[in-house]
Each structure stands twice: as structure tokens, then as C-alpha cells.
Chains A and B, each alone.
Chain A
């Protein structure tokens, strides 16, 4: 690999300052951790703006940053659908409609809410799949980091992994969720200040937005598309053949906008935990709503660099950029961000950019670890292994399991490094398990007749439906196997993304219908659902709050702003 970045003392100093700094924060916070609630939920004391930034950064792991820039290069402005159609409406829905039940029920985790609302088996199913998933994701994130550092800087693969894992382990064991949240907020500002100069230099270099459009038009026509495909988000969503994503608007809006985004933003404990740690009900509801503002602006920081990079590949000479190929001959889009850093940043700024990337790897790991230790201790260890112990014991367990979690993640990382297919298979299985979850929560929170048997049957049926749909379909030009078609072939989708969206739609529909049918066939829930279901919960009064603190007002503003963005980049 000949793209190795050359770091100097100043770059290493910035990286070093950051690493020492996060350990220092852990050490300071250690003194304030007295109870398990301090460790797992920050004692429910986080102000709304801090929780909001952490909420948004918990999702902003390095894979997200690198992946969104890669998609920006691959698909252009249409990648913004992941933000402006996917994330924002789901975040608004979480803040206005769902947070009252998560926060009001005093559940310490998403699985615990499932136990309060439904029953033990639904919670166990969710808790066990979630813990496996978080350990694997943290392993995958470490693997990706080791690989990238090795490729870019020539650092030793194992050494970079162990070093980062060690730093993250220390600050989580010391400061628990508060440490993770503080570092997520730091990481947020590092990414913002690390990437703004990249976007500014890139846009200046390519001749502003119009220069970028002209460059992207050459990219589009060279691949046989209409000139505006890379710079407009909606105009070419009419049919699957007119855009490089290979999706049409209905599959995109339903699959991505409704099922996948709502499933992720509204039910993934890694995200929701940040809002649960907020200092009050009002702050918890505002957490995802405050996060919508930076979230809707992030496409300009992470997608636009990818678009600039692909436009630069059309330019000849030293000012151009060439993307390296993968072993199978396709372009390696995952290197877009590191290459752009190397292309535009002199030493100094380069250290800042790399620190931002390293910080997002670390906080991605930390997010998984804090969600993992909470669900393990509260939803597996306490109910099924050792109940009735002292609070100090569970706090101790939380710290021990964090160490275990890091060791398991490292093992997972080596496993992934050895057998690349394992990662694909596991991510597929997790996608199947996650797909129907939003149906369960939607019915659980808004239909009091839904019961535990229905929820459990719905989850299993939705997971099976996802697996069967995947087994019967294939993306175009793919061979049967990990990409699908392992049960036979009924339908061929124009792209993998289209297949994913429709897998989610089928899983959600199956989960939704089966939950209703089984709930109606078995008895009504025999418990008090106050605080858990919409119709059984008194409305929250917020009339005495100023307008800028009212969730509904903030939500409407966010939706209006995102509509404007969609129209501008139509």
C-alpha cells in the first residue's frame, strides 16, 4: 500500500494529548461513581444538550463516518436519505412519542421495558441477542481500526487494537456511562473541527458547489447515468435503473425511512441509553430532538467529502485523486476519508483529523461496551444468575463484565480477521433479529391489547420472515450464498440495498401481523399498564415550559427544517 500517511511529532503529540486526556476524565469521574445507577445510567443526571450530543455521537462511530463518506462517493447526494428521510423523522418520533414510556417506566434498559410491558421471555430474547450483537460490533470496530491504522500509518495491527481497547477499557471501568458520554461529546467536537477544514479546502479546491456539480456530472455520465445523479437526492429515485443505489422511492421510504430507521433509532439500547441517562423527563424527551440539529447538518461534513473525492478522480495530474482497488477489482471506497485527509491536510491538521477518527473508533467501542455491561448486569445476571445481591455487588459486576466484554471483543476481532465470512454471516443474522423489533415496540406502546405471547411470536416470526426473504432473493449479478438465494430463487433485486430494504419491510410486516393475531388469540395482558402504554398513561403537561423546551415544538421545527433540506437538494 503506497498511500501511507507520514506523521510528524506534532501529529503524534495531538493524538497523545487526546489519549491522556480521556484517561484523565475517567480518573476524575471515578470519584463520583458510588452506586450501580451512577455507573450504568450516570445517576440520571445528564443535562439535555450533553445527552443530545452523546445521543448523536453514539451512532457516529468510525464505521459511520467512513461508511457515509464511502456512500457519498458511490451514490452521491442520495446518501442524504439516510439522514433526511431515515434518521430525523425517527428521532422526532422517539422524542415525542416513545421517550415518555422508556423514561416514565423507570426501566434501566430497553430489554427491561420489554419485561415491564410484556414478559420474561420477550426480554430474555432481546437481552441475549443484544449482548451478543454489541460484543461482536465492538470487535468489528476494533478490527476495522487495527486494519486502517496498519494500512495508513504502518502501525502494528494487534498493537493498535490492544492500545485502543486498553484506553477504552480504563475509562469505562473508571467512569462508567458518564465517561462514555463525556467522551462522545468530545468526539463530536473533534469530528466537527477536524472535518470542517476538509470540506472547506475541498470545496475551495474544486470550485465551490457548482464546481463540484460539474465534476460529479462527469462521474455520472462516465457510468451511463444522467448528469445530475450524484448531486441531487430525489430526482432520480423514480426507478431503480436511474440511480446507482438501485432503489426506487417506495422501497426507500418504507424500507429505510420507516422500518430500518425507526427500528434502529427508537429501539437500539445503545442509542436510547443516552436519553435514559438524562436528568428529567423533559430532558429525556428533548435529547433526541436536540440531536436532530447536528444530525441534519452532518451530511455536509461526512457525505460531501466523499462526493468531492469521487469528483477528484476525474481530474488528471497531481491535483487528482485515485481510489485504490480491492483484491476483487472493485474500488475501495472505505479509504475515501483517510485519502482525503492525506490529500488536503498538512502535518498538524493531519494529526487533528486522525485524532477525530481515532476518537470515533474509541467512542464506538465505548458505546457498545456501556450498553453491553448494562444489559448483561441488569437483564441477564441480576434476574437469571444472581438476584437479590447488594447494589455494590452489581456495581462490581458491571466493572468485571466490562473487562470480559473487551476481551470478548478482541477475540471477536481476531475471529473476524481470520474468517472474513463470519462477520458477514453474523451481521446478517443480527439484521434478521433487529428487523421486526420496531413492530413489537409500536404495538407495545400504542395498543394495550398486545400481550407477551404475541410480542414473542411476532419477534420470532419477523426474524424468520427476514431470513426466508433473504434466502429466496438475490441482488443482481450476485451468486447464491451469503448474498441470498440459499433457499432457492424467487426474485432478483437490482441492488443489495434494495434487497435489504425489502427484507426489512417483509420482516416488519410479518412481526406486526403475527403479534396482532397471536395477541388476539390469547388473553388480554393481566397487569397494570399505566406508564407503559399510550392509552393508559396520563398526558404529560408541559404548558408551563417555554416554547423552546417543548418537545412537540422542537419536533415540528426539526421536521420543517429537514423538509426544506430535502427540497433544496431535490
Chain B
């Protein structure tokens, strides 16, 4: 009954949020105060999220999720 491979929605969500975060970071630049001063943490972490999301999406192509096997 499982029609939706969960890796797809996880992949899309993280790609989307990652792109948004990275884009925002690139637009606004690194924060000038606080612990993360000088480090554009939004851009970097957004990139990490997007890479994770894309990896999830790619994995759905390589290995489709096995169908249920029932009681063993």
C-alpha cells in the first residue's frame, strides 16, 4: 500500500529549505556580531541541507524501496 517513498518528500523539503537558507545567507552576508560573526553560517548550513536533500532524492533513483515482504 506504500505508494510514496519517504526519501522523496524528505529530499524535496531539505533541498527547498537549504536553498532558501543559502540564498538568504548570500543576500544578507555573514552576521557582524555574535558567535558566528564573520562566518556566513546561513549560507554554509543551507548548502549542507541542500546537499543532504539532493542525496536523498538521488538515492530514490538508485535503489527503489523494496516492497513489503509480509510475515517471515
Contact = CB atoms under 8 A, between A and B. Distances in A.
Interface of A: 10, 13-14, 17-18, 21, 24-25, 28-29, 31-34, 38, 42-47, 50, 103-104, 178, 182, 185-186, 189, 193, 197, 201-202, 204-205, 279-283, 319, 344, 346-349, 352, 355
Contacts of A279: 68-70
B4 to A, nearest CB: 6
Given A17-B16, A201-B36, A279-B69, A348 B21 contact: yes
Given A346-B34, A349-B21, A189 B66 contact: no
Nearest to A104: B71
Contacts of A281: 71-72
B2 A45 contact: yes
B20 interface: yes
Nearest to B23: A10
A107 B13 CA distance: 35
Contacts of B10: 185-186, 189
A186 B14 CA distance: 9
A280 B70 contact: yes
B36 A344 contact: yes
A17 B31 CA distance: 24
B49 interface: yes
Quick one: which of A33, A204, A352 has the most chain B CB within 10 A? A352
B13 A346 contact: no
A13 B42 CA distance: 14
A282 B66 CA distance: 14
B69 A280 contact: yes
Contacts of B25: 348
Contacts of B28: 348
9 contacts: A31-B3, A43-B1, A185-B10, A193-B52, A280-B69, A346-B36, A348-B28, A348-B46, A352-B17
Most buried by A among B3, B10, B16, B24: B24
B65 interface: yes
Given A50-B6, A280-B72, 18 more contacts: A14-B21, A17-B16, A31-B3, A38-B1, A43-B68, A47-B65, A47-B66, A104-B71, A193-B45, A281-B72, A283-B69, A344-B35, A346-B31, A346-B36, A347-B24, A348-B25, A348-B46, A349-B45
A43 B20 contact: no
Given A186-B9, A280-B70, A344-B36, A349 B42 contact: yes
* Interface band, chain B: 20 to 34
A205 B39 CA distance: 13
B41 interface: yes
Contacts of B69: 279-280, 283
A178 B35 CA distance: 40
Interface pairs A-B: 10 shortest CB-CB: A43-B1, A348-B42, A279-B68, A45-B68, A205-B35, A346-B31, A10-B24, A280-B69, A32-B3, A45-B2
A280 to B, nearest CB: 5
A45 B1 contact: yes
B9 A17 contact: no
Contact of B9 (A25, A44, A45): A25
Contacts of A43: 1-2, 68
A38 B3 CA distance: 12
Nearest to A185: B6
Contact of B2 (A46, A189, A205, A352): A46
A104 B24 CA distance: 51
A182 B65 CA distance: 15
A17 B24 contact: no
A182 B35 contact: no
Contact of B4 (A25, A205, A347): A25
B2 A32 contact: yes
Contact of A28 (B4, B14, B24, B49): B4
Contacts of A25: 4, 9
A17 B14 CA distance: 10
Interface in B24-72: 24-25, 28, 31, 34-36, 41-42, 45-46, 48-49, 52, 65-66, 68-72
